[in-house]
Amino acid sequence: MGKLKGKEVAIFLTLFFIGLVANLDKSLIGVAATAIRGEYGYSATEFANITNLYYASNIVMTLVSGWIVDRFGYKPFMVTALTILTVASLTFGLSGMLAAGAGGAVGVLTGLLASRFFIGIGQTGYTNGVSKVIVENFQPEVRQTVQSVVVATAGLGALLAYTVFTGLVGMGWQIAYYVLSALFLIALVLMVVIVPKKYTPPAGSVSLFTAWKHKNSLVLGFALLCNNMVGVVSLAWLPSYLQGIDVIKAEMAVNPGLTNMILIGYAIVMGVAMVASNFIIKAWFRGKEKIFAVICSAIGAVLLYMMTTSQELVAIVAFLYSSTFLLMLVFSAIVALPYAPLANEDGTIVPVSMIASSYAVINIMAFLGAIIGNTVVAGIADAMGFSVGFAALAIPFLLSGLALFLLPKTK
């Protein structure tokens, strides 16, 4: 990362922590899924509704959040969002207390659905607010790197979920969400105390639908839609998928912690890939991001499919890690491209004046990909098993890289 000046360091660390906790929440739902489904007997499709409602509320709020941030500034929006996340994470854990007096498993499901709905709203503070904080508080030459490192918290959040929070889920999945709520409270305090309130009025009028007319925003959104179909499904269902593989089930009779060890490695691979992507692109693929993404997505799609057909433990893990590494390289390239300078004209892939609105478009399409992938894989899993569902994800994996060829050249 380039040199950060003055208060940039404190702001960067605050954004990093907010990203870490937000991504921990996204991974924790997958870890807790097995415990919740086992306790209340929910099918994969029923539990998928909890995740889908999260993304549905996220989409609805994202429709207006980018415009709100561009029009009124990021701080009030992010403070409100973090407050919602703090409260909703607490109520998600408290939902288990509804079982005795509100219809048993049905009562619990209602509480989980309602809490996850508000968590989806709160998560827009991270997904749509951070980009504007970066534009307003960091020098142009470090913005792309800051964005890449903050995004890399997806891997670290998953690692935290598969280590510390797996232990907490073992003590009771509700406890894990109480601790998550406390972490969101810390993030809220840091946001209030450290991140300044800045607002640069847009050069012209900001329309709620301006970014929806911007070709580059739509292309990036479609690419992330395809990428999220693979990545989000993995976060939500990978523990369940691994526990259903015959060779892993047999090995777990001797080594009960095997699945958790695989997941820890998976999270480490995610984090390393997302940090490394920025340096790989700068060193060898500057201005050639599209070629980089296609190579990664094509090889990764093949490896993902091979993972679902293999019967050897070592091969399954190797294919999982290598395809995940390539998936995260493509993901990081997509989310960093809005800041990339154009080759044949002044400006960037996405104009700075509409960066938050553009990320809103990109995120909405990404969330649609999550809903589509989650619904399809859950349905296939109930009918034919998770292996078939994961195999189908090779197609959107490939498309996530190919779509970027519709973008203009960068330098």
- Is residue 2 in some structural domain? no
Q: Cα(276)–Cα(167) distance, rounded to whole angstroms?
A: 29
Residue 336 neighbours by CB under 8 Å, 6+ apart:
144, 147, 148, 151, 277, 278, 281
> Amino acid identity of 63?
L
On whether residue 56 sits in a domain, the answer given is yes
For residue 100, name the pLDDT band (cuts at 50, 70, 90): very low
Residue 202 within any structural domain of the chain: no
Q: Taking all residues of the chain, what is their mean pLDDT, rounded to a whole number?
A: 83
Kindly state whether residue 340 falls inside one of the protein's structural domains: yes
Percent of residues, the chain, with pLDDT higher than 90: 25
Residue 73 tokens read as 């500034």
Helix (H, G, I), strand (E, B) or coil at 342: strand
74 within domain boundaries: yes
Question: What is the arithmetic mean of pLDDT over 364-389?
Answer: 81
Count of structural domains, the chain: 1
Give me the CATH number covering residue 158.
1.20.1250.20
Residues with Cβ within 8 Å of residue 62, at least 6 apart in sequence: 124, 127, 128, 360, 363, 364, 367
Predicted confidence (pLDDT) per residue in 168-187, tens digit: 998 988 999 999 999 999 99
- Does residue 217 form part of some domain? yes
Residue 19 lies in domain: 8-197+207-406
Which residues have a Cβ under 8 Å from the Cβ of 257 and sit 6 or more positions away? none
Q: Which residues contact 219 (CB under 8 A, 6 or more apart)?
A: 403, 404, 406, 407
Per-residue tokens: 140: 């142009």
Instruction: Sort 315 into a burial class: Cβ within 10 Å, 0-12 / 13-18 / 19+.
Output: middle
Asked whether residue 1 is assigned to any structural domain, the reply reads no
> Which residue type does 164 have?
V
Q: How many CB atoms lie within 10 A of CB 7?
A: 12
For 73-205, where are the alpha helices, taking DSSP H only?
75-94, 105-137, 140-151, 153-162, 164-171, 173-194
Classify residue 295: in a domain, yes or no: yes
What is the pLDDT at residue 118? Answer: 93
Q: What is the mean pLDDT of residues 51-58?
A: 83
